Structure 1
Amino acid sequence: MPSQKDLFEVSGPTYLTRVDWNRPDHRRSVMASLVQGVYVLERDRQRNRQGDESRAPLWWRFFRFEMQQVLVDDADNSIFGAVYKFLDATNAASAPHYVVAFRGTIMKKASAPRDVTLNLHLVRNVLDGTSRFRAAMKTVYDVLESAAAARQHDRVWLAGHSLGSAISTLVAKNKAREGVVLTTFLFNAPFPEAQAIWDVQWLNRGIRVANSFVTAGVATVLRAGGDGGYDPFAMLARWVPNVFVHPEDLISSGYVGYFDHRKEMENIGLGAVGRLATRYSVKDLLLGIGRAGGCESLHLFPSAVLTVNRGPSRDFRMAHGIQQWWKPDLVLECNAYYY
């Protein structure tokens, strides 16, 4: 019997029969569903569900998308991403023409070893050296090239969940530095920094401010004179990803304190220190000595629209799950942060 979460007619946003692309809640629900489509594609593969038995297609067909390409990892042949084309884009000016979506970790025998290895690369800030990232990057380049030929390059969107959010982040950062800003949806993106640094619930202001001064000081010393005025972090300021987190998700909840703390530093007149501190991780500063391209952490970026699900969560799996993001009755708190 197939998992209920794989069945769109049981678990999907069937209420969304007409999508208004100007509504953030509609965009969020559709993007989360397209990411779920990638998860179900891989589970279809693992369970040998083909043809009429496949559970994946309804996750995109319901919203008038068609599958253009499936992304396969060369290490284990697992499906980790997909390229979707929107069939009604000409009738919806605010809709994407293409969406490139990436799934997160699937803890099953056929996919877990590779996914766990990639998560370790993520923590070590070396995800950009993996074949999965290179495949994702090439795919986005190809989609953008096709879209540009049709004058649609500004309507290519990225979406990812968990590990897939990290891949989306890395792709979007690379493109932003080339001057191409992609609309990006990051669901439960990993924040692999010590939670204690940013947790605004129990760390008092003095400790957080002191930590910012230490980080800013280390950054100033280690990078003094090393970049010739080149500021790769500031180059990302025009890219404003949509970041979705639940405060009970220990993997991604660090973003709440990360952006709140920067705002707090602005409020007490220490904005310059706060901006410098929140662009670096001390760990990566130290590990990054001598590395080409600097030592910026993947999970740190200057701007974002942060959406926090303040509703109750039954457990970690629910708090970290993609399924929460297409629910119609969420208790959401949304704030925009600009560098």
Structure 2
Amino acid sequence: MANQLVPNESLSHPYAFHVSGPRKLTSLNWRDLIISTWKDPNYKRTVIACFIQAVYLLELDRQENRTQGNVLAPNWWIPFKYKLKQTLIDERDGSVFGAILEWDRSAALADLIPIRPSGAPRAVLALRGTLLKSPTMRRDIEDDLRFVAWESLKGSVRFKVVLQALKSICEKYGSSNVCIAGHSLGAGFALQVGKALAEGGVYVEAHLFNPPSVSVATSLKIIGEKAEFVWTRLKSMLPYSTSSSGEPQVSNDNGDKTSSVGLKSWIRMPRLSSPGLKDAASVGVAKWVPHLYVNNGDYICCSYNDGDGTREKVDKVNMGSKNGQIVAKLFVVSKEKQKFLEAHGLEQWWSSDAELQQVIHNSKLISRQLRSLYTATPSQVLTH
């Protein structure tokens, strides 16, 4: 791809890069060889959000039959010296739901940047969220409902495509040179695919914008945790004896004794303080640290900001770990009188007036979603 913006006849289109893209954008130049712009977290967040926007526009360009003269998508990656390497296609409807963007060495050389700046990934796998347009809406909503019902996207055709694509670029470029990112539903895929690789000992940088947090599964688990708390309190007030198997038995009003195993097995939730946590550093907890960007006004992702009531004044986010390991970094934006569409939108993450706060507390939701990393073993390498 040439180191120039693709000619665009739709100069007034609301999704044109110069219309809705980031303002006061720092251009890469030879100085980045000394002090890399990519080491600035705000710059990195801006660029990666733009890459995800490019995926939305790849699909819209396809739907609207745009040609080389008026396509919108390329202008969202060219200024950052990247090129389109591959698109991820849903074969059922032909829609583009993801893309692999690769560092464009020739474009960088044209601007006297002989090597890739420190912090700039060699490849980025970007995933879009739901598009409420008929050509792809059905498949998008199917996966939305899949998450709402099960809090898992592993049964999706797209999950397999994303997992294979991520494995492929990790093998080609090295996992330390790869980044996966997504918005909304795409963030859900990025989180779960990234976790699948982390369970196998492969760690990639992950940036998740407005990741979905609302699901029936979550609600049932919360109910289960509350039920377990009530049952524990109740047991402390009831007389009991021990059965031959060593299980406590509760006496009812008729003097009959019933084992507590049945109820406990139904409501018990695995604890992060389990013995497996001691080996967490060896199975990914200390090495895979996804970045989550949420907005308190977005009911789809705001549950990630629900803590367990404890907050610590430390320099790094410590979520769900009982031994000081960093599990995830959570960044929150909170604005008053903000409408849902704005709070859930991708544009806020490259906005020049974005005010993010790095939240310091234990997030119940992210701890629960990443729980398998505490009990995974290295033998589970890429078996998902």
Q: Which amino acid in structure 1 is aligned with residue 160 of structure 2?
A: R
* Aligned partners of 2:209 and 2:294 also within 8 Å: yes
- The answer to whether the Cα contact below 8 Å between 1:8 and 1:14 also exists between their aligned partners in 2 is no
In 2 relative to 1, CA 320–219 (structure 1 residues): closer, same or farther, beyond 3 Å?
farther
Counterpart of 1:292 in structure 2 is none
Q: 2:187 aligns with which of 165, 171, 175?
A: 165
**RMSD of the alignment, in Å?**
3.5
Q: In 2, Cα distance between the equivalents of 1:71 and 1:216?
A: 48
Counterparts of 1:232 and 1:125, CA distance in 2: 27
- Is the partner of 2:38 in helix, strand or coil? coil
Task: Report the counterpart of residue 155 of structure 1 in structure 2.
Answer: 177
The answer to whether residue 375 in structure 2 is matched with residue 316 in structure 1 is no
1:17 aligned residue (17, 26, 36): 26
Structure 1 spans left out of the alignment, 5+ residues: 198-206, 268-273, 278-301
Going from structure 1 to structure 2, the CA distance change for 1:10 and 1:188 (only over 3 Å counts) comes to: same
The residue matched to 1:51 in structure 2 has which SS?
coil
Matched, 1:90 2:115: yes
Say if 2:213 is the partner of 1:191.
Answer: yes
Instruction: Tell me, yes or no, if structure 1 residue 35 matches structure 2 residue 30.
Output: no
Separation in structure 2 between the aligned mates of residue 216 and residue 142 of structure 1, nearest angstrom? 48
Q: Which one-letter code corresponds to 2:25 in the other structure?
A: L
The question of whether the paired residues in 1 share the 8 Å contact of 2:23 and 2:351 is answered with no
Asked if structure 2 preserves the Cα contact closer than 8 Å seen for 1:186 and 1:241, the reply is: yes
The yes-or-no answer on 1:137 pairing with 2:152 is no
The aligned counterpart of 2:356 is: 332
Deviates more, 1:14-23 or 1:131-140: 14-23
Larger radius of gyration: 2
1:311 to partner: Cα distance: 2.9
Match of 1:26 among 43, 66, 88: 43
Alpha carbons of 1:85 and 1:337: their partners in 2 closer, same or farther (altered >3 Å)? Answer: farther
> Is the 8 Å Cα contact of residues 216 and 276 (structure 1) preserved in structure 2?
no
Residues 236-251 of structure 1: pairs in structure 2 closer than 5 A: 236-238=284-286, 239-251=288-300
Counterpart of 1:287 in structure 2 is: none
Q: Does 1:263 align with 2:310?
A: yes
- Give the deviation of 1:122 after TM superposition: 1.3
Change in Cα spacing, 1:30 to 1:211, as seen in structure 2 (3 Å) is same
Structure 1 pair 192/112, CA: closer, same or farther in 2 (3 Å)?
same
Distance, in Å, in 2 between the alignment partners of 1:107 and 1:194 is 22
Q: Measured at CA, do residues 261 and 138 of structure 1 come closer, stay the same or move farther in structure 2, by a change above 3 Å?
A: same
Q: Is the contact between residue 74 and residue 132 of structure 1 (CA under 8 Å) also seen in structure 2?
A: no
3-state secondary structure, aligned to 1:158: strand
Alignment CA distance shift 1:3-1:252 (3 Å): farther
TM-score, structure 2 normalization: 0.67
- Percent of aligned positions that are identical: 31
The structural deviation recorded for 1:214 is 3.3
Partner amino acid, structure 1, of 2:182: G
Gapped regions of structure 2 (runs ≥ 5): 1-9, 29-36, 109-113, 233-263, 314-318, 368-384
Q: Give the structure 1 partner of residue 76 of structure 2.
A: 59
Q: Which residue pairs with 2:139 in the alignment? A: 114
Amino acid at match of 2:348: Q
> How many angstroms apart in 2 are the aligned matches of 1:117 and 1:232?
38
- Aligned to 2:144, the other structure's residue is in SS state helix
Question: How many equivalent residue pairs?
Answer: 290
Matches within 5 A, 1:267-282: 275=320
Matches of 2:145 and 2:353, distance apart in 1: 35
TM-score, normalization: structure 1?
0.75
Corresponding letter in the other structure for 1:167: F
Contact 1:311 1:330 in 2 (8 A): no
Rate the CA distance shift 1:317–1:50 in 2: closer, same or farther, 3 A.
same
Residues 308, 332 of structure 1: 8 Å contact kept: yes
In structure 1, what is the Cα distance between the partners aligned to 2:77 and 2:194? 23
Please give the secondary structure, in 2, of the residue aligned with 1:93: coil
Alignment-mate amino acid for residue 23 of structure 1:
D
Q: Does 1:214 find its partner at 2:229?
A: yes
Moved more, 121-130 or 109-118: 121-130
DSSP 3-state at the match of 1:160? strand
Aligned to 1:68: 85
Q: C-alpha distance in 1, partners of 2:143/2:279?
A: 24
1:73-119 Cα deviation digits (max 9, x unpaired): 12211100000012259331211110000000000011111100011
